[in-house]
Structure 1
């Protein structure tokens, strides 16, 4: 097999345009509700032109999810083994909230995939995600053993951080409907969650 030819600038731009359009469509309609026609329309390309770059809806979805995993794990990777435990965990909460602010569509794409049973990213969850979470859970266990933070279940601590931060992206419409106009949910959440986790984790 010959090597794949390098993509031209136009080809790279078109791929990026398709992926950006697909992110918008998938995050709104989910994998099942999205169609190639919808993605092509959002990208401003014809369907045959789109199919030149990606052979199927699933190929586009898998490309997005593959790129997303690195982005998704970055805030947890940044947790420093040599840092102050309380500061490291509070920092992780803040980074996850910032993800909900900066990447709400990516969060909803990820949530939709998980709700459907993760058919296109189960392997990544069982390998890359699990390995990183297990590594950080072991770090948290060490901090607990040293008496530096309260005795909590490390895995469920991480799950609770996910639940309490990703909620603001995945359920944005509900949060804003309840709070009403003129309030910034994520700014309010940052102070609340900082207090919540500080009290929970205080040794």
Structure 2
């Protein structure tokens, strides 16, 4: 097998896999895990059902792959924050990242919301291990910021819950937002909403808003 032929096959494989993941994200967002069908995912991806099952052995393995991707995507910016960092900068960028994901990957947020609403049957082990550990680490950093007087006293859990709730609202309730505004949100609208949310949360914590978000 030539090098060029090998590269072509890898490229096609990656392309197909991305098509499947994108289609599956939409179907799971619309119908949840139980309601989504592999054939529907294949039809949306414009691929044979056998191709879907070639890359992902079952609907469950495809679903879990997406959940893992979503959780890693959401936690990425805040993962490395330390007590020595500026909480205003860290939190502002974390909120901005969450809002950008709501703009670009709304179906990912909706899919996750449905999983939680249904009791998180596929996330229990993750929550008990990796996610719980991540949360404990972030809460500890926020507590140290408070102890050092870098931000006002607040419950770190509630702070993070409020960031998640407000930023993910723009994805999970996009239909309601668009209906009440009378039009879909543009990228400029999202930028304005992001700056507004950063201002609300940071000033509520006694922090100044970084210049780039004013």
- With the length of structure 1 as denominator, give the TM-score of the two structures: 0.87
State whether structure 2 residue 78 is matched by structure 1 residue 62.
Answer: no
Tell me by how many angstroms 1:166 deviates.
0.6
The 1-side partners of 2:99 and 2:80 are apart by: 14
1:123-180 Cα distance to aligned partner (Å, 9 max, x none): 1122211111111111111111112211100111101100010110111111111112
5+ residue gaps, structure 2 = 1-5, 208-214
Q: 2:195 is matched with which residue: 179, 191, 195? A: 191
The 1-side partners of 2:202 and 2:58 are apart by: 47
Seen in structure 2, the aligned counterparts of structure 1 residues 85 and 54 have a Cα distance that, compared at 3 Å, is closer
Count of paired positions = 198
Tell me by how many angstroms 1:83 deviates.
1.9
Over aligned residue pairs, what C-alpha RMSD do you find? 2.2
Alignment correspondent of 1:100? 102
Alignment correspondent of 1:14? 16
- With the length of structure 2 as denominator, give the TM-score of the two structures: 0.83
5+ residue gaps, structure 1 = 1-5
Alignment correspondent of 2:210? none
- Equivalent position SS for 1:155: helix
